[in-house]
Structure 1
Amino acid sequence: MSELAHKRILLGVTGGIAAYKSAELVRRLRDAGAEVRVAMTAAAQAFVTPLTFQALSGHRVHTTLLDTEAEAAMGHIELARWADAVLVAPASADFMARLAHGLADDLLATLCLATAAPIVLAPAMNRQMWAAEATRDNAVCLARRGVRLLGPAAGGQACGETGPGRMLEPRELVRGLAELWGPRPLAGRRAVVTAGPTREALDPVRYLSNRSSGKMGYAVAAAAAAAGAEVVLVSGPVALAPPPGVRRVEVTSAAEMLDAVLAEVAGADLFIATAAVADYRPAVSADRKIKKDSERMELVLERNPDILATVAALPERPFCVGFAAETHDVIGYARGKLEAKGLDLVAANAVGEGQGFDRDDNTLTVLWPGGERALGSGSKRELARALMDIICERLHARD
């Protein structure tokens, strides 16, 4: 990866089972042309030995704050000045808390305070620790200060639980780190992204909705931000934290999402409609819980507004990207949506049992007037980056 060629990367390793992945991360960084040096916390050494990282990096591993072998015994200052970037992977909840509070009680925390280089964290922890309010506050605080967070991913964890908190895979971290020096084709642009489902109230406790988790939309918002855009994320109800540097507007119903989008889209260069908006809503929403006093109940539904079509029809509209989630004839329906709504681009994906919704992976084919490109299968993060590359190509071609 040319962006990392000759870059000096200081890899910080904190305590956690994900530390074993950091060994592969060193190898991948070096394969990308970077020079790597490693600093380990005491807890990290309980999982992987310094000798492992010394063999992989080709340099002595740093573990001590006041290193008598370093020049003037100020090894942390030397390392802080040496680094072009600091990547902490895994970044434990404890380390994030200490960094957020400006503590300098070990080598790694101290050099993060002493460096002028960009700092990137790859969080890794139990899902409940990641969801804890204190951790979320620390993540927001660090992002506000310019610290970049890559991940975490969701999936099975060493503790036996499943959910968000897994460290991103080394190949994803290498790509995310390379973006620090890569092109930012959307710099100076403003993007509005919708994500997640909408909920249409039947009564105060029930609603119509769908299985969308919002993961694809949140990955797209993160990719747009990484490409340099100012991003507003209009989100339905999801169990996800907003990507760092992205402003989130929370909504519930399709009508609320339309109002929020129209309030934000004025002056935007790019609109990406990833949300799975409910097509219909109850014609009447009961103001009290509906009681089961009969064998059958009939619901009258009415059409929801078409948010994407509304934006695409604006006199001074942004570049409009839609998503077509279909259970069959995916490309045919996507091409019809592209033409009927006059879109600039549409991403088609199959949904249904075992694919699309509520998963970390997806399969996309991107279509535009006169062309299409299959992106294949992969993680939603990887597909979002590939999709953003095509969006940038088409946006600049239009301009």
Structure 2
Amino acid sequence: MTSDVPHIDLTDPDVHRDPFTAYGRAREISPIARVGAPGFGPMWVVTRHADIKTMLGDPRFEIRSDSFMRPDVPEDYRPHMRTMSEMNGAEHLRLRRLAAPAFTARRAADFAPRVAPIVEALLDDLPGHGPVDLMAHFARPLPMDVICELVGIPVPDRLRWREYGATVVTSAGPAFAAAIPAIIDGAKAAVARRRTEPADDLISDLIEAQAEDGDRLSDTELVTLIWHLVMAGQTPTNLIANAVETLLTHPEQLAALRADPGLMPGAVEELIRWCGPTLLTIPRYAREDAELCGTPIAKGDAVTASIAAAHRDPRAYADPDRLDLTRPAGQPGHLGFAHGPHFCVGAALARVQTEVALTTLLRRHPGLALAEPAPRAPDPGTWRLAALTVTL
């Protein structure tokens, strides 16, 4: 049965080097393929835009604890590891309903003036002479600095939280697991502090907010939400780095953006489509025997989606292999923040953060250029750079 669909080997260097071509070939052969590597998979992978949207919204395919590579953490911290990302149905809906009002597009836009000085400070601190690695000095610390501002982490603790963020983005195994207790303890302290000392931050808003039925987030749920933000909130690191590298290697598009900064919101959407960091979605598991894209899927089978294939699908986009920062807005939208019940709750904040970062960087450094080709990290699930060395 599986011999009728393409198979993608995640250890293949060509897949690491150019996943868009590898998954694109599979997409044009079949709407569904197989993907795997030693210790990873095998899984079904959906390859076409419309089919991916259908699968991500289908309750027969659910995220669960097996979807995540869970690090080994001490028993006391495990209750905080299960975030709404791996919940389904009423349980997921309740937490999302309580948290979502704090992450609306309007709230994100109102937060932009607090993101701007964080961006400016990071650019102020860039080394003044010679090439500089924007990944290490700008893209990587920015999301955690923003999360600290959003959540209300005290300023003296924020350098340490930057280190946590870097560990979450770049590490696995023992290093990752070792960072978790410190993050959870810091989150617990922040929640306890805001119970008695409210301020203008997310925790205070969530403590104050109360649903019509009297429901509210418990302290454990608030701490878990902060952990969720630390995990999912690192997406702009790779998005911003990828976007800068893409703009610097597409000078005509960069020139158009510099000539008309008003293009920035649409440019961010196109950059997410073109070079967004998500290659494969978090796996879902079939709750029952099902059919997907005309293929039988057995109960318990893992299913992922190739966002790399979807974003270059000619069935969804005109001239999909061309970067076009003036691409008209409208349907279909990109799938960089997933789709369906698990659409990224922090998408608006990620968009605003990326817009502010790119706008400020381009304004302050009109001569920005690559100092050397940017190396890619060999990561089957995430399109990310190992470094981004530029001259200012």
Q: TM-score, normalised by structure 2?
A: 0.21
- Flag the structure with higher helix content: 2
Q: Which has the larger radius of gyration?
A: 1
- Flag the structure with higher strand content: 1
Q: TM-score, normalised by structure 1?
A: 0.20
